[in-house]
Amino acid sequence: MPGFLADLTGSFATSAAQNPTVVVMEAAYAHAELDIRYINCEVPPERLGDAVRGAVGMGWLGFNCSIPHKVAILDYLDAMAASAGIIGAVNCVINRDGHLTGENTDGQGFVASLRTVIDPTGVDMVVLGAGGAARAIAVESALAGARSITIVNRTRKRGEELAALVADRTPAQSSYVPWDGAYVVPESTAVLVNATSIGFQPSVDIPDVAPSSIRPGLVVADVVANPPDTAFLQLAQAQGAITLQGLGMLVNQALTNARLWTGRDLDADVMHRALTASLLP
């Protein structure tokens, strides 16, 4: 007799309709012949507790938390991974018999993607932005061995807080630089990361960076996955830089989520193809 009860995973977010992870995860589960579903749930902030209790009551393997729940979810956890504790935000929760552990796989996904083009050990990085993605990327890159992380942000308070967090809680050096006009990328920089939402479809805006300071050999990464080849990456490529799309971060994040929930390594190529197809116009 076939089984009629699948294991459950999913995501809690607002707005959930913008999240393509459901396509990625269900394609990977099906390819691995795993009887697991990924349910994309619209959960407003005032109902997060209800959603968490429901997931525990139904025996979910775990779930993702996206905007605006990555900090609020901390109130419902029993434990946190070390790097998630430093970042102060969680996007992946693992359920083991009602015991909830929080991980932050955003930064881990970025570092795994970054390693396909450069080893972060000993490099100088510049991160544009100081929001949730920037925090995860800066902390995980520092823990992966980056020598220095420069935080470039328009709001001084948030930029200084993130730089202090990295300097105090990781082995890397870190400093804040105000984003006032076109930012000139220092020649010592090996990796430049747009960790803002600038350039997300349908926008064709570009982060305010002096094009002449984007040189051949510089790695330029963008967390924006839709469109995959952002206007910023196109500019960087025209300047001779090595570019890294946001798709890689999303796929590696999904791979890590699945490993935490199932103990299995799923197929990255299957995930990448499903994600790319879901973002085509």
Active site residue 70: yes
**CA triple 241-247-253, angle to 5 deg:** 120
CA distance 179 to 156: 9
Check 70, 135, 169, 272 and give the catalytic one: 70
CA distance 36 to 29: 6
Q: Distance of CA 51 to CAs 16, 26, 45, 57, Å?
A: 14, 21, 10, 10
- In 3-state terms, what secondary structure has residue 149? strand
CA distance 240 to 212: 11
CA distance 80 to 91: 11
Annotated catalytic sites, by residue? 70
